[in-house]
Homo-oligomer: A and B are copies of this chain.
Amino acid sequence: MKIAVAQLNYHIGNFESNANKIINSIKQAKSDGAELVVFSELALCGYPPYDLLERKEFVQNCLATLDSIAKECDTIAAIVGAPEINPAPKGKNLYNAAYFMADGQIKQIVRKTLLPNYDVFDEYRYFQPNNEFNIIEYKGKRIALTICEDIWVNQPFANAFSKDKLYTIAPMKELAKFNPDLAINIAASPFSYTQVDVRRSIVSNKAEQFNLPFIYVNQVGANTELIFDGNSKVVNSKGNIVIQSKAFDEDYFTFDSAEIEKLPAITPEETNQLALIHDALVIGIRDYFQKTGFKQATLGLSGGIDSAVTVALAVEALGSENVRVLLLPSQYSSDHSIKDAVDLAENLGIEYHIVPIKNIFNEFNTALSPIFEGLEHNLTEENIQARIRGTLLMALSNKFGPILLNTSNKSEAAVGYGTLYGDMNGGISVLGDVYKTDVFKLARYINRNGEVIPENTIVKPPSAELRPDQKDSDSLPDYDILDGILFKYIEQNQSPQEIIEAGYDEATVNKAIRLVNINEYKRFQTSPTLRVSSKAFGIGRRIPLVAKL
Protein backbone atom coordinates (compact mmCIF):
# COMPACT_ATOMS: atom_id res chain seq x y z
CA MET A 1 0.00 0.00 0.00
CA LYS A 2 1.39 3.38 -0.98
CA ILE A 3 1.20 5.75 1.97
CA ALA A 4 1.75 9.51 2.17
CA VAL A 5 2.78 11.34 5.34
CA ALA A 6 1.95 15.05 5.70
CA GLN A 7 3.83 16.87 8.44
CA LEU A 8 2.11 20.27 8.61
CA ASN A 9 2.15 23.45 10.68
CA TYR A 10 -1.38 24.04 11.96
CA HIS A 11 -2.83 27.25 13.35
CA ILE A 12 -5.14 26.74 16.33
CA GLY A 13 -8.72 27.57 15.45
CA ASN A 14 -7.90 28.50 11.87
CA PHE A 15 -10.07 25.79 10.38
CA GLU A 16 -9.99 27.29 6.91
CA SER A 17 -6.20 27.38 6.72
CA ASN A 18 -5.78 23.99 8.36
CA ALA A 19 -8.39 22.37 6.10
CA ASN A 20 -6.77 23.92 3.03
CA LYS A 21 -3.40 22.50 4.00
CA ILE A 22 -4.93 19.09 4.64
CA ILE A 23 -6.91 19.09 1.40
CA ASN A 24 -3.87 20.18 -0.60
CA SER A 25 -1.90 17.26 0.82
CA ILE A 26 -4.78 14.88 0.04
CA LYS A 27 -4.75 16.12 -3.57
CA GLN A 28 -0.97 15.77 -3.75
CA ALA A 29 -1.19 12.25 -2.34
CA LYS A 30 -3.89 11.33 -4.84
CA SER A 31 -1.81 12.59 -7.73
CA ASP A 32 1.15 10.63 -6.34
CA GLY A 33 -0.94 7.47 -6.44
CA ALA A 34 -1.01 7.05 -2.66
CA GLU A 35 -3.82 4.96 -1.15
CA LEU A 36 -3.60 6.47 2.33
CA VAL A 37 -2.44 9.85 3.62
CA VAL A 38 -1.76 10.43 7.30
CA PHE A 39 -2.01 13.71 9.28
CA SER A 40 -1.12 14.41 12.90
CA GLU A 41 -3.08 14.52 16.18
CA LEU A 42 -5.84 17.16 16.40
CA ALA A 43 -4.55 18.42 13.07
CA LEU A 44 -7.76 20.10 12.09
CA CYS A 45 -8.01 22.36 15.14
CA GLY A 46 -4.28 22.61 15.90
CA TYR A 47 -2.66 21.58 19.15
CA PRO A 48 -3.07 22.61 21.98
CA PRO A 49 -6.53 24.15 21.62
CA TYR A 50 -6.93 24.40 25.43
CA ASP A 51 -10.36 25.66 26.55
CA LEU A 52 -11.53 26.41 23.03
CA LEU A 53 -12.54 22.75 23.22
CA GLU A 54 -15.20 23.84 25.72
CA ARG A 55 -16.77 26.19 23.17
CA LYS A 56 -19.64 24.69 21.22
CA GLU A 57 -19.00 26.82 18.12
CA PHE A 58 -15.34 25.82 18.05
CA VAL A 59 -16.08 22.10 18.05
CA GLN A 60 -18.98 22.48 15.64
CA ASN A 61 -16.86 24.47 13.18
CA CYS A 62 -14.21 21.80 13.44
CA LEU A 63 -16.64 18.96 12.76
CA ALA A 64 -18.26 20.77 9.85
CA THR A 65 -14.83 21.27 8.31
CA LEU A 66 -14.09 17.59 8.86
CA ASP A 67 -17.04 16.65 6.69
CA SER A 68 -15.71 18.77 3.86
CA ILE A 69 -12.36 16.97 4.14
CA ALA A 70 -14.05 13.56 4.09
CA LYS A 71 -15.58 14.44 0.73
CA GLU A 72 -12.07 14.79 -0.72
CA CYS A 73 -11.27 11.22 0.29
CA ASP A 74 -12.88 9.55 -2.71
CA THR A 75 -10.03 7.64 -4.34
CA ILE A 76 -7.82 7.76 -1.26
CA ALA A 77 -8.13 7.14 2.47
CA ALA A 78 -6.96 9.64 5.09
CA ILE A 79 -6.30 9.65 8.81
CA VAL A 80 -6.97 13.07 10.36
CA GLY A 81 -6.81 14.02 14.05
CA ALA A 82 -9.78 16.00 15.42
CA PRO A 83 -12.01 16.01 18.50
CA GLU A 84 -15.11 13.81 18.59
CA ILE A 85 -18.17 14.58 20.69
CA ASN A 86 -18.61 11.79 23.25
CA PRO A 87 -21.93 10.17 22.31
CA ALA A 88 -22.44 8.75 25.82
CA PRO A 89 -24.69 10.66 28.22
CA LYS A 90 -22.03 10.79 30.92
CA GLY A 91 -18.29 11.34 31.08
CA LYS A 92 -16.16 14.07 29.52
CA ASN A 93 -17.58 15.87 26.56
CA LEU A 94 -15.06 14.88 23.92
CA TYR A 95 -12.68 12.23 22.71
CA ASN A 96 -9.28 13.02 21.26
CA ALA A 97 -9.87 11.10 18.04
CA ALA A 98 -8.35 9.99 14.76
CA TYR A 99 -10.81 9.91 11.88
CA PHE A 100 -10.28 7.26 9.25
CA MET A 101 -11.90 8.50 6.04
CA ALA A 102 -12.49 6.68 2.77
CA ASP A 103 -15.12 6.52 0.03
CA GLY A 104 -15.93 10.19 0.70
CA GLN A 105 -16.99 9.63 4.30
CA ILE A 106 -15.86 8.98 7.85
CA LYS A 107 -15.47 5.21 8.07
CA GLN A 108 -14.05 4.64 11.49
CA ILE A 109 -13.01 6.62 14.56
CA VAL A 110 -10.09 5.65 16.79
CA ARG A 111 -9.97 7.29 20.22
CA LYS A 112 -6.98 8.17 22.35
CA THR A 113 -6.58 5.90 25.36
CA LEU A 114 -3.76 7.47 27.37
CA LEU A 115 -4.38 11.13 28.11
CA PRO A 116 -1.28 13.01 29.26
CA ASN A 117 -2.10 15.13 32.28
CA TYR A 118 1.25 16.38 33.53
CA ASP A 119 3.69 19.18 32.71
CA VAL A 120 2.14 21.19 29.84
CA PHE A 121 -0.64 18.66 29.23
CA ASP A 122 -4.20 18.78 30.61
CA GLU A 123 -6.00 16.30 28.41
CA TYR A 124 -8.29 14.98 31.15
CA ARG A 125 -9.70 18.47 31.28
CA TYR A 126 -11.38 17.89 27.93
CA PHE A 127 -11.32 14.26 26.94
CA GLN A 128 -12.82 10.95 27.98
CA PRO A 129 -10.18 8.20 27.82
CA ASN A 130 -10.84 5.37 25.40
CA ASN A 131 -11.09 1.79 26.66
CA GLU A 132 -12.16 -0.14 23.56
CA PHE A 133 -9.72 -1.31 20.93
CA ASN A 134 -10.07 -2.13 17.29
CA ILE A 135 -7.99 -2.37 14.17
CA ILE A 136 -8.43 -0.53 10.88
CA GLU A 137 -8.75 -2.88 7.93
CA TYR A 138 -8.05 -1.29 4.59
CA LYS A 139 -6.95 -2.72 1.27
CA GLY A 140 -6.06 -6.02 2.89
CA LYS A 141 -3.85 -4.37 5.51
CA ARG A 142 -4.52 -4.39 9.24
CA ILE A 143 -3.45 -1.10 10.77
CA ALA A 144 -2.87 -0.55 14.51
CA LEU A 145 -3.61 3.16 14.89
CA THR A 146 -2.73 5.00 18.11
CA ILE A 147 -2.58 8.62 19.16
CA CYS A 148 0.57 10.19 20.63
CA GLU A 149 0.72 9.28 24.37
CA ASP A 150 -0.78 5.85 23.60
CA ILE A 151 2.73 4.54 22.89
CA TRP A 152 4.38 6.34 25.85
CA VAL A 153 3.86 3.61 28.41
CA ASN A 154 6.45 2.74 31.02
CA GLN A 155 8.51 5.87 30.44
CA PRO A 156 9.19 7.07 33.97
CA PHE A 157 10.46 10.60 34.36
CA ALA A 158 13.96 11.43 35.48
CA ASN A 159 12.70 12.23 38.96
CA ALA A 160 11.88 8.92 40.53
CA PHE A 161 9.03 10.33 42.64
CA SER A 162 6.72 10.62 39.66
CA LYS A 163 4.85 7.75 38.07
CA ASP A 164 3.23 9.93 35.44
CA LYS A 165 3.73 7.63 32.51
CA LEU A 166 3.34 4.34 34.33
CA TYR A 167 -0.09 3.73 32.87
CA THR A 168 -2.12 0.68 33.74
CA ILE A 169 -3.20 0.13 30.11
CA ALA A 170 -0.89 -0.54 27.15
CA PRO A 171 -2.77 0.27 23.93
CA MET A 172 -0.23 -1.38 21.61
CA LYS A 173 -0.52 -4.64 23.56
CA GLU A 174 -4.29 -4.52 23.12
CA LEU A 175 -3.96 -3.83 19.41
CA ALA A 176 -1.34 -6.54 18.94
CA LYS A 177 -4.09 -9.06 19.71
CA PHE A 178 -5.61 -8.17 16.32
CA ASN A 179 -2.45 -9.24 14.44
CA PRO A 180 -1.78 -5.95 12.70
CA ASP A 181 0.49 -5.59 9.66
CA LEU A 182 1.46 -2.02 10.34
CA ALA A 183 1.41 0.50 13.19
CA ILE A 184 0.66 4.21 12.83
CA ASN A 185 0.94 6.80 15.60
CA ILE A 186 -0.32 10.32 15.00
CA ALA A 187 1.13 12.83 17.44
CA ALA A 188 1.36 16.40 18.64
CA SER A 189 4.50 15.81 20.64
CA PRO A 190 6.17 19.04 21.71
CA PHE A 191 9.85 19.63 21.36
CA SER A 192 12.37 19.67 24.11
CA TYR A 193 16.08 19.23 23.56
CA THR A 194 15.93 15.82 25.23
CA GLN A 195 12.56 14.76 23.82
CA VAL A 196 13.79 14.20 20.26
CA ASP A 197 16.05 11.38 21.36
CA VAL A 198 13.58 9.80 23.78
CA ARG A 199 10.80 9.92 21.24
CA ARG A 200 12.85 8.20 18.58
CA SER A 201 13.80 5.44 20.94
CA ILE A 202 10.16 4.89 21.90
CA VAL A 203 9.05 4.59 18.30
CA SER A 204 11.95 2.24 17.56
CA ASN A 205 11.28 0.14 20.62
CA LYS A 206 7.60 -0.23 19.83
CA ALA A 207 8.38 -1.30 16.27
CA GLU A 208 10.84 -3.88 17.53
CA GLN A 209 8.73 -5.04 20.46
CA PHE A 210 5.69 -5.74 18.27
CA ASN A 211 7.72 -6.68 15.18
CA LEU A 212 5.81 -4.16 13.08
CA PRO A 213 6.75 -1.41 10.65
CA PHE A 214 5.90 1.84 12.40
CA ILE A 215 4.80 5.15 10.91
CA TYR A 216 5.07 8.16 13.18
CA VAL A 217 3.45 11.45 12.12
CA ASN A 218 4.03 14.52 14.28
CA GLN A 219 2.85 18.11 14.06
CA VAL A 220 5.41 20.82 13.26
CA GLY A 221 5.53 24.52 14.15
CA ALA A 222 5.07 26.57 17.29
CA ASN A 223 1.88 27.57 19.06
CA THR A 224 2.91 30.26 21.54
CA GLU A 225 5.24 28.50 24.00
CA LEU A 226 4.96 24.98 22.66
CA ILE A 227 7.26 24.17 19.75
CA PHE A 228 6.72 21.06 17.65
CA ASP A 229 9.76 19.74 15.81
CA GLY A 230 7.99 17.38 13.45
CA ASN A 231 10.61 14.66 12.95
CA SER A 232 8.03 12.27 11.53
CA LYS A 233 9.48 8.97 10.49
CA VAL A 234 9.07 5.45 9.22
CA VAL A 235 10.75 2.70 11.22
CA ASN A 236 11.12 -0.92 10.14
CA SER A 237 10.16 -3.87 12.30
CA LYS A 238 13.73 -4.09 13.60
CA GLY A 239 13.42 -0.56 14.97
CA ASN A 240 15.64 1.13 12.35
CA ILE A 241 14.65 4.45 10.85
CA VAL A 242 14.23 4.11 7.09
CA ILE A 243 12.54 7.43 6.31
CA GLN A 244 13.02 10.63 8.29
CA SER A 245 11.19 13.91 7.69
CA LYS A 246 12.57 17.40 8.15
CA ALA A 247 12.76 18.95 11.59
CA PHE A 248 11.13 22.34 12.27
CA ASP A 249 9.57 22.58 8.84
CA GLU A 250 6.61 21.22 6.95
CA ASP A 251 7.31 18.06 5.01
CA TYR A 252 5.58 15.45 2.88
CA PHE A 253 6.74 12.07 1.68
CA THR A 254 5.37 8.84 0.25
CA PHE A 255 6.49 5.23 0.43
CA ASP A 256 5.19 1.75 -0.25
CA SER A 257 4.45 -0.16 2.94
CA ALA A 258 5.62 -3.37 1.25
CA GLU A 259 9.05 -1.77 0.79
CA ILE A 260 9.66 -0.65 4.38
CA GLU A 261 11.58 -3.76 5.36
CA LYS A 262 13.75 -3.47 2.26
CA LEU A 263 14.76 0.16 2.70
CA PRO A 264 18.20 0.82 4.15
CA ALA A 265 18.49 2.14 7.70
CA ILE A 266 19.35 5.84 7.62
CA THR A 267 21.00 8.32 9.93
CA PRO A 268 18.53 9.49 12.57
CA GLU A 269 17.49 13.09 13.03
CA GLU A 270 19.75 15.81 14.44
CA THR A 271 20.14 15.55 18.20
CA ASN A 272 22.88 18.11 18.90
CA GLN A 273 21.28 20.09 21.69
CA LEU A 274 22.54 23.51 20.69
CA ALA A 275 21.49 23.08 17.09
CA LEU A 276 18.09 21.87 18.24
CA ILE A 277 17.61 24.76 20.67
CA HIS A 278 18.68 27.26 18.03
CA ASP A 279 16.33 25.89 15.38
CA ALA A 280 13.46 25.60 17.87
CA LEU A 281 13.79 29.21 19.02
CA VAL A 282 13.88 30.48 15.45
CA ILE A 283 10.65 28.68 14.52
CA GLY A 284 9.20 29.66 17.90
CA ILE A 285 9.70 33.35 17.15
CA ARG A 286 8.62 33.05 13.52
CA ASP A 287 5.38 31.24 14.27
CA TYR A 288 4.45 33.51 17.16
CA PHE A 289 4.58 36.46 14.79
CA GLN A 290 3.00 34.71 11.85
CA LYS A 291 0.12 33.26 13.86
CA THR A 292 -0.64 36.49 15.72
CA GLY A 293 -0.47 38.44 12.48
CA PHE A 294 2.54 40.61 13.32
CA LYS A 295 5.64 41.07 11.21
CA GLN A 296 8.07 43.19 13.16
CA ALA A 297 9.94 42.81 16.43
CA THR A 298 11.72 45.23 18.68
CA LEU A 299 13.92 44.94 21.73
CA GLY A 300 16.49 46.89 23.65
CA LEU A 301 20.15 46.14 23.00
CA SER A 302 22.23 46.56 26.13
CA GLY A 303 25.51 45.29 24.78
CA GLY A 304 25.01 42.19 26.90
CA ILE A 305 24.71 38.59 25.83
CA ASP A 306 20.95 38.02 26.31
CA SER A 307 19.71 40.81 24.08
CA ALA A 308 22.46 39.97 21.58
CA VAL A 309 21.41 36.34 21.23
CA THR A 310 17.72 37.31 21.19
CA VAL A 311 18.16 39.84 18.39
CA ALA A 312 20.28 37.47 16.33
CA LEU A 313 17.58 34.80 16.57
CA ALA A 314 14.89 37.36 15.75
CA VAL A 315 16.74 38.42 12.62
CA GLU A 316 16.99 34.79 11.53
CA ALA A 317 13.28 34.29 12.19
CA LEU A 318 11.89 37.53 10.77
CA GLY A 319 14.57 39.06 8.57
CA SER A 320 16.74 42.07 9.34
CA GLU A 321 14.20 44.42 7.76
CA ASN A 322 11.65 43.39 10.39
CA VAL A 323 13.72 44.00 13.50
CA ARG A 324 14.34 47.49 14.87
CA VAL A 325 16.00 48.09 18.17
CA LEU A 326 16.65 50.76 20.76
CA LEU A 327 19.87 51.39 22.62
CA LEU A 328 18.92 52.93 25.94
CA PRO A 329 22.08 53.99 27.76
CA SER A 330 22.04 55.52 31.22
CA GLN A 331 24.78 57.28 33.16
CA TYR A 332 25.85 53.81 34.34
CA SER A 333 26.25 52.31 30.88
CA SER A 334 29.84 51.69 29.92
CA ASP A 335 31.19 52.93 26.61
CA HIS A 336 31.95 49.39 25.51
CA SER A 337 28.30 48.43 26.02
CA ILE A 338 27.11 51.03 23.58
CA LYS A 339 29.85 50.12 21.14
CA ASP A 340 29.09 46.40 21.43
CA ALA A 341 25.40 47.06 20.82
CA VAL A 342 26.10 49.29 17.82
CA ASP A 343 28.51 46.72 16.36
CA LEU A 344 25.86 44.02 16.76
CA ALA A 345 23.13 46.12 15.12
CA GLU A 346 25.47 46.89 12.25
CA ASN A 347 26.57 43.27 11.89
CA LEU A 348 22.90 42.36 11.59
CA GLY A 349 21.99 45.29 9.35
CA ILE A 350 19.06 46.37 11.49
CA GLU A 351 17.67 49.83 12.22
CA TYR A 352 18.64 51.18 15.63
CA HIS A 353 18.13 54.37 17.60
CA ILE A 354 19.96 55.55 20.67
CA VAL A 355 17.68 57.08 23.32
CA PRO A 356 19.54 58.09 26.49
CA ILE A 357 17.41 57.66 29.61
CA LYS A 358 19.31 59.96 31.96
CA ASN A 359 16.96 62.95 31.78
CA ILE A 360 13.85 60.86 32.29
CA PHE A 361 15.53 59.10 35.22
CA ASN A 362 16.42 62.45 36.78
CA GLU A 363 12.84 63.64 36.38
CA PHE A 364 11.56 60.51 38.17
CA ASN A 365 13.97 61.17 41.00
CA THR A 366 12.80 64.78 41.22
CA ALA A 367 9.15 63.76 41.29
CA LEU A 368 9.79 61.22 44.04
CA SER A 369 12.17 63.39 46.07
CA PRO A 370 9.50 64.72 48.47
CA ILE A 371 8.63 61.14 49.41
CA PHE A 372 12.12 59.63 49.22
CA GLU A 373 13.91 62.53 50.90
CA GLY A 374 16.96 61.49 52.88
CA LEU A 375 16.91 57.91 51.60
CA GLU A 376 19.82 56.40 49.70
CA HIS A 377 19.53 55.21 46.12
CA ASN A 378 19.08 51.45 46.09
CA LEU A 379 17.28 48.73 44.13
CA THR A 380 14.33 51.11 43.73
CA GLU A 381 16.29 53.42 41.48
CA GLU A 382 17.76 50.48 39.55
CA ASN A 383 14.23 49.29 38.87
CA ILE A 384 13.15 52.75 37.75
CA GLN A 385 15.82 52.68 35.05
CA ALA A 386 14.68 49.25 33.87
CA ARG A 387 11.07 50.46 33.80
CA ILE A 388 11.97 53.59 31.84
CA ARG A 389 13.56 51.33 29.25
CA GLY A 390 10.54 49.06 29.25
CA THR A 391 8.25 52.05 28.74
CA LEU A 392 10.34 53.43 25.87
CA LEU A 393 10.36 50.08 24.12
CA MET A 394 6.60 49.72 24.57
CA ALA A 395 6.19 53.24 23.18
CA LEU A 396 8.03 52.17 20.03
CA SER A 397 5.87 49.06 19.92
CA ASN A 398 2.65 51.04 20.38
CA LYS A 399 3.59 53.72 17.85
CA PHE A 400 4.88 51.54 15.01
CA GLY A 401 3.54 48.07 15.78
CA PRO A 402 6.57 45.84 16.38
CA ILE A 403 6.15 43.31 19.18
CA LEU A 404 8.63 43.63 22.02
CA LEU A 405 10.70 40.50 22.69
CA ASN A 406 11.46 39.56 26.28
CA THR A 407 15.20 38.90 26.62
CA SER A 408 15.34 37.33 30.11
CA ASN A 409 17.20 34.03 30.33
CA LYS A 410 16.10 31.07 32.46
CA SER A 411 18.69 31.65 35.20
CA GLU A 412 17.49 35.23 35.71
CA ALA A 413 13.83 34.24 35.48
CA ALA A 414 14.47 31.52 38.04
CA VAL A 415 16.06 33.71 40.68
CA GLY A 416 14.09 36.86 39.92
CA TYR A 417 17.11 38.81 38.70
CA GLY A 418 15.05 41.12 36.53
CA THR A 419 12.61 43.99 36.88
CA LEU A 420 8.92 43.24 36.54
CA TYR A 421 7.32 45.81 34.19
CA GLY A 422 10.86 46.69 33.10
CA ASP A 423 13.32 44.40 31.37
CA MET A 424 10.83 41.55 31.85
CA ASN A 425 8.44 43.24 29.40
CA GLY A 426 7.65 41.59 26.09
CA GLY A 427 5.09 39.56 24.18
CA ILE A 428 7.13 36.36 24.10
CA SER A 429 10.19 35.30 26.05
CA VAL A 430 12.83 33.94 23.69
CA LEU A 431 15.49 32.75 26.15
CA GLY A 432 13.38 32.20 29.25
CA ASP A 433 13.92 28.44 29.01
CA VAL A 434 17.67 28.69 28.28
CA TYR A 435 20.07 28.88 31.22
CA LYS A 436 22.70 31.62 31.12
CA THR A 437 25.53 29.14 30.55
CA ASP A 438 23.65 27.84 27.50
CA VAL A 439 23.03 31.39 26.27
CA PHE A 440 26.81 31.78 25.95
CA LYS A 441 27.01 28.51 24.02
CA LEU A 442 24.17 29.66 21.81
CA ALA A 443 26.10 32.87 21.08
CA ARG A 444 29.09 30.78 19.97
CA TYR A 445 26.78 28.64 17.85
CA ILE A 446 25.31 31.76 16.22
CA ASN A 447 28.86 32.88 15.44
CA ARG A 448 29.79 29.47 14.00
CA ASN A 449 30.16 30.87 10.47
CA GLY A 450 31.62 34.24 11.41
CA GLU A 451 31.14 36.97 14.00
CA VAL A 452 27.56 38.14 14.39
CA ILE A 453 27.65 38.76 18.13
CA PRO A 454 30.72 40.83 19.07
CA GLU A 455 33.37 38.82 20.86
CA ASN A 456 33.42 41.39 23.64
CA THR A 457 29.76 40.74 24.40
CA ILE A 458 30.56 37.07 24.88
CA VAL A 459 33.69 37.42 26.98
CA LYS A 460 32.93 40.34 29.33
CA PRO A 461 31.51 39.62 32.79
CA PRO A 462 27.68 39.86 32.82
CA SER A 463 26.32 43.09 34.27
CA ALA A 464 22.92 44.79 34.48
CA GLU A 465 24.72 48.19 34.52
CA LEU A 466 22.13 49.76 36.82
CA ARG A 467 24.75 51.18 39.20
CA PRO A 468 28.45 51.94 38.86
CA ASP A 469 30.63 48.85 38.27
CA GLN A 470 27.76 46.44 38.95
CA LYS A 471 28.32 42.75 38.11
CA ASP A 472 25.81 39.87 38.18
CA SER A 473 28.28 38.04 40.41
CA ASP A 474 27.76 40.72 43.12
CA SER A 475 24.28 39.29 43.74
CA LEU A 476 24.34 35.78 42.35
CA PRO A 477 26.54 32.68 42.52
CA ASP A 478 28.67 32.02 39.44
CA TYR A 479 26.38 30.92 36.62
CA ASP A 480 28.14 27.55 36.28
CA ILE A 481 27.18 26.74 39.84
CA LEU A 482 23.81 28.47 39.82
CA ASP A 483 22.67 26.72 36.65
CA GLY A 484 23.73 23.34 38.01
CA ILE A 485 21.58 23.89 41.09
CA LEU A 486 18.65 25.26 39.11
CA PHE A 487 18.68 22.34 36.68
CA LYS A 488 18.51 19.85 39.50
CA TYR A 489 15.76 21.77 41.29
CA ILE A 490 13.61 22.64 38.29
CA GLU A 491 14.15 20.03 35.56
CA GLN A 492 14.93 17.14 37.87
CA ASN A 493 12.66 18.11 40.77
CA GLN A 494 15.41 17.24 43.25
CA SER A 495 15.03 18.25 46.88
CA PRO A 496 17.47 20.78 48.36
CA GLN A 497 18.95 17.93 50.38
CA GLU A 498 19.61 15.85 47.27
CA ILE A 499 21.29 18.81 45.56
CA ILE A 500 23.54 19.42 48.54
CA GLU A 501 24.40 15.70 48.62
CA ALA A 502 25.40 15.98 44.96
CA GLY A 503 28.23 18.25 46.11
CA TYR A 504 26.89 21.80 46.01
CA ASP A 505 27.54 24.19 48.87
CA GLU A 506 24.63 24.17 51.30
CA ALA A 507 24.32 27.93 51.72
CA THR A 508 24.46 28.48 47.96
CA VAL A 509 21.80 25.83 47.36
CA ASN A 510 19.51 27.28 50.00
CA LYS A 511 19.96 30.81 48.68
CA ALA A 512 19.31 29.80 45.07
CA ILE A 513 16.21 27.77 45.94
CA ARG A 514 14.87 30.48 48.21
CA LEU A 515 15.21 32.95 45.32
CA VAL A 516 13.37 30.58 42.98
CA ASN A 517 10.54 30.18 45.47
CA ILE A 518 10.03 33.83 46.39
CA ASN A 519 9.99 34.92 42.76
CA GLU A 520 7.01 32.90 41.60
CA TYR A 521 5.01 36.13 41.55
CA LYS A 522 7.34 37.67 38.97
CA ARG A 523 7.19 34.68 36.66
CA PHE A 524 3.41 34.60 37.01
CA GLN A 525 3.27 37.96 35.25
CA THR A 526 5.82 37.16 32.56
CA SER A 527 5.03 36.57 28.91
CA PRO A 528 4.82 33.03 27.56
CA THR A 529 8.28 31.44 27.26
CA LEU A 530 9.40 29.41 24.27
CA ARG A 531 9.81 25.95 25.75
CA VAL A 532 12.94 24.02 24.83
CA SER A 533 13.62 22.01 28.00
CA SER A 534 11.70 19.25 29.71
CA LYS A 535 10.50 21.72 32.39
CA ALA A 536 9.96 25.32 31.42
CA PHE A 537 8.40 28.10 33.46
CA GLY A 538 4.76 28.63 32.55
CA ILE A 539 1.78 26.33 32.16
CA GLY A 540 3.94 23.23 32.72
CA ARG A 541 5.10 24.31 36.19
CA ARG A 542 2.39 25.46 38.61
CA ILE A 543 3.53 26.62 42.01
CA PRO A 544 1.16 28.39 44.42
CA LEU A 545 2.26 32.00 44.93
CA VAL A 546 1.43 32.16 48.62
CA ALA A 547 3.04 28.86 49.58
CA LYS A 548 5.42 28.70 52.51
CA LEU A 549 8.48 26.89 51.16
Contact = CB atoms under 8 A, between A and B. Distances in A.
A292 B497 CA distance: 24
A20 interface: no
A367 interface: yes
Nearest to A397: B380
A223 B425 CA distance: 26
A507 interface: no
Interface stretch (A97-105, A265-273, A357-365): A357-365
A479 interface: no
Interface stretch (A11-19, A238-246, A274-282, A430-438): A11-19
What size tier do the contact residues of chain A reach? 35 or more
Interface string A517-536: 00001001111100000000
A543 B125 contact: no
A145 B234 CA distance: 52
Interface stretch (A187-195, A342-350, A387-395, A464-472): A387-395
Interface string A356-391: 110110011011101110010011100110011011
A460 interface: no
Interface stretch (A22-30, A70-78, A159-167, A251-259): A159-167
A476 B420 CA distance: 29
A168 B91 contact: yes
A528 B546 CA distance: 11
Interface stretch (A43-51, A301-309, A311-319, A443-451): A43-51
Nearest to A396: B371
Would you list the 8 A-B pairs with minimal beta carbon distance, nearest first?
A14-B548, A291-B546, A124-B124, A57-B495, A380-B398, A13-B547, A50-B542, A387-B391
Interface of A: 11-14, 17, 46, 48-52, 54-57, 59, 86, 89-93, 117-118, 122, 124-125, 159, 161-164, 166-168, 223-224, 287-288, 291-292, 353, 355-357, 359-360, 363-364, 366-368, 370-372, 375, 378-380, 383-384, 387-388, 390-392, 394-396, 398-399, 420-421, 425, 427, 493, 495-497, 521, 524-528, 539, 541-549
